[in-house]
Structure 1
């Protein structure tokens, strides 16, 4: 009964925090992606494909925070409603109550390992591929309205208006130059791009316009009007996107292990692969420490409802993540062995968490952040007293 009750208390804030964190990260990125795609003249649909490729990366960041806050808020509720005191009075220790949180931590650590080890590398490669295709025009980026656009080396197009997602064009001007000195200038009311059997060629079908055809042998340029006219356009050849693994973030964990211990690779490349491998493993291993940290920060002092522990938990997790990123950068440069750069801070962080949990669980009246709680309470009372005195001093 107690395990099911704890599981329900943890599940709701865990899921809510995970969804909110992922949505906030995606919304922040979405604004920048819309700006990037608009500048490149690409279709809006590519934004959603790029965001979908970023979901695994944001989940790997949101899962530890969700796990931390889910356990912390659940035990904080137990502590503020005195249910935690009742459970301890009937013989349930903190170790017994941590059984369910560790079930959550183990399951989510396995999920996170699968994400950062195997899913995220492929998703990141897909994201970089979309960026490359968008910059190179391989996605069929729309023509920029009101600007002269180069189609190949010897053709220029200008469009006044665009409808139907860029498929229907109006107010067209086309200027084309041939290798033999021939030139063609075309104006048309409407136009549409059409696919052909040749993947390297498309047709610009023009309607209701005029064309001026000139060549070295002509005494005067020929002027013609037309109802329909097809203008073939040779697509430029696009270089294929690089193979996956050009960056360490695009390699799976087994690939990082092989790259980091392959004698034929340069020392710097091996250092980068080892640093990336240890960074991912440390991030996953840290999740197994979060239940202890959450409980240590969840229980406020007696007769106190301070939420300092919630704020401190987020600060500690974010700070430790930044320390790991800095350690990974040092290890990838070969300045320090990645094993030392990443696992020594992990050992220090684990020692701090164990001391905080031991103080709460095994010392009578122990409060690991008691001094900070008292300081924060005094500061809050001082602010309230100053605010109330200022209000009383004002004339009615």
Structure 2
């Protein structure tokens, strides 16, 4: 960093901190929104709370891939907006620094973050998504202890029923237990206990339910009257229900790496639907990464407000452009996956239009004297702001004076 010219180090610092703050904030907002849903899902399935954090950890790569472009856009935009509003940009241009020269640092960030995003969406995110789906499967199947729900009768296999009134310490401490098991010869054992806990055994298909302070009732066709036994401790073997193995990775396009998508899209032995979906997702990921190289051009064009103006319209439009472009890519991917339009055309034509818009906006800012790509919108926003402030001042007066002024 010390070998860089002073101006590059200065611009680098201006970009880094807003970019990092925006990236962390956007990722946290996405995580918080998803965390509430996961808590509800895990509570419904009866799983341990710790699985929520494991599921969120597997979603972080996906959220980073969404937050990195936003962080890059706002980092560059806010840095150059500061240079413009403090007249530092005019000084730099006055000493002979062109916009092309000033783009050196933004493009260094763009290239580094594009490579990072390519690694995330191309290789890290597919494995993380598969792990996330695996945790969901284990919750639903009961592999994480979720098959026994508090306050409900749960069937363990065909001949055993269990009900638990209360659970603590993530299922390690149980209270208010009822269990009934039946055998093929007509015998049945029912038990109630004040407490209990599950214990592992050497047999992976069997666990021990250790009951404390309860009553056991043994019924059999051989007994005229059921036998009743009071106990302080009683071990009851419980066969675990059979759990189907989770599918292999690649059951969904989002679980395939970029090379795997490319191969699947060219494999003639695959069904046409699979090939279209793989091609569409492949081009979607490449376009999302390629779009990051256009962000510096758009950010600089939107960062510079008109002279003697401090309008923040460019910040708002930058987010709108990114979100709109991302949604268009998602819609184009869906069209390509359905075969409505060839995935190559569906994804790359909107990208080329977006690239043309970015280049035009940058050209207007950098090479047209007084050029302002969103000058008309800035003027409309300024007039709207003046009217709103005028109405606000009018209604701050006394009601009668406000009515007279309105007339």
Work out the CA distance in 1 between the residues paired with 2:299 and 2:279.
30
The equivalences for 1:64-213 within 5 A come to 64-141=69-146, 143-213=148-218
Counterpart for residue 379 of structure 2: 374
Write the distance in 1 (CA, Å) between the matches of 2:18 and 2:120: 22
TM-score of the superposed pair, with normalisation by structure 1: 0.98
Q: CA deviation at 1:393?
A: 4.3
Partner of 2:404: none
Contact 1:260–1:269 (CA under 8 A) maintained in structure 2? yes
TM superposition score normalised by structure 2: 0.96
Paired residue secondary structure (1:289): helix
Q: SS where residue 184 of structure 1 aligns? A: strand
Does structure 2 conserve the Cα–Cα contact (< 8 Å) formed by 1:37 and 1:44?
A: yes
Tell me the distance in 1 between the aligned counterparts of 2:326 and 2:20: 21
Instruction: Give the Cα–Cα distance (whole angstroms) in 1 for the partners of residues 232 and 397 of structure 2.
Output: 84
Deviation of 1:390 (Å): 2.1
Q: Aligned equivalents of 1:109 and 1:354: distance in 2?
A: 19
Which of residues 43, 60, 64 is equivalent to 2:65? Answer: 60
- 2:46 equivalent among 26, 41, 44: 41
Return the alpha-carbon distance in structure 2 between the equivalents of residues 206 and 101 of structure 1.
66
Q: C-alpha displacement at 1:395, in angstroms?
A: 5.3
Contact 1:143 1:166 in 2 (8 A): no
Partner of 2:318: 313
1:365 paired with 2:370, answer: yes
CA-based RMSD: 1.1
Give the 3-state SS of the residue equivalent to 2:339 in structure 1.
Answer: coil
Unmatched segments (≥5 aa) in structure 1? none
Q: Cα deviations across residues 165-204 of structure 1 (Å, max 9, x unaligned)? A: 2211122111111111111111112111100000000000
- Work out which of the residue numbers 263, 278, 282 in structure 1 matches 2:283: 278
- Return the alpha-carbon distance in structure 2 between the equivalents of residues 131 and 37 of structure 1: 9
For residues 23-76 of structure 1, the C-alpha deviation after alignment (integer angstroms, 9 at most, x for no partner) is 000000000000000000000000000000000000000000000000000000
Secondary structure class of the residue paired with 1:287 = helix
In 1, Cα distance between equivalents of 2:348 and 2:11: 32
**Shift of residue 394, structure 1, vs aligned partner:** 2.5
- Are the equivalent residues in 1 in contact too, given 2:218–2:228 (CA < 8 A)? yes
Question: Residue 141 of structure 2 contacts residue 147 of structure 2 at CA under 8 Å; is this kept in 1?
Answer: no
Q: Residues 316-356 of structure 1: CA distance to partner in whole angstroms, max 9, x if unpaired?
A: 00001000000000000111111100000000000011111
Contact map agreement 1:214 1:221 (CA 8 A) in 2? yes
Any conservation in 2 of the 1:11–1:70 contact (CA below 8 Å)? yes
Q: Which residue pairs with 2:405 in the alignment?
A: none
Larger CA deviation: 291-300 vs 261-270 = 261-270
- The SS at the match of 1:216 is coil
Separation in structure 2 between the aligned mates of residue 240 and residue 355 of structure 1, nearest angstrom: 54
Distance 1:65 1:44 in 2: 31
Q: 136-145 or 117-126: which moved more?
A: 136-145
Structure 1 residue 145 displacement after superposition: 2.7
User: Within the alignment, does 1:32 sit opposite 2:37 as a pair?
Assistant: yes
Equivalent pair of 1:297/1:313 in contact (CA under 8 Å): yes
* Per-residue deviation, 1:144: 2.8
Partner of 2:3 in structure 1? none
Of 138-147 and 353-362, deviating more is 138-147
- Contact preservation (8 Å) 2:160, 2:182: yes
Matched ranges for 1:184-333 at <5 A: 184-333=189-338
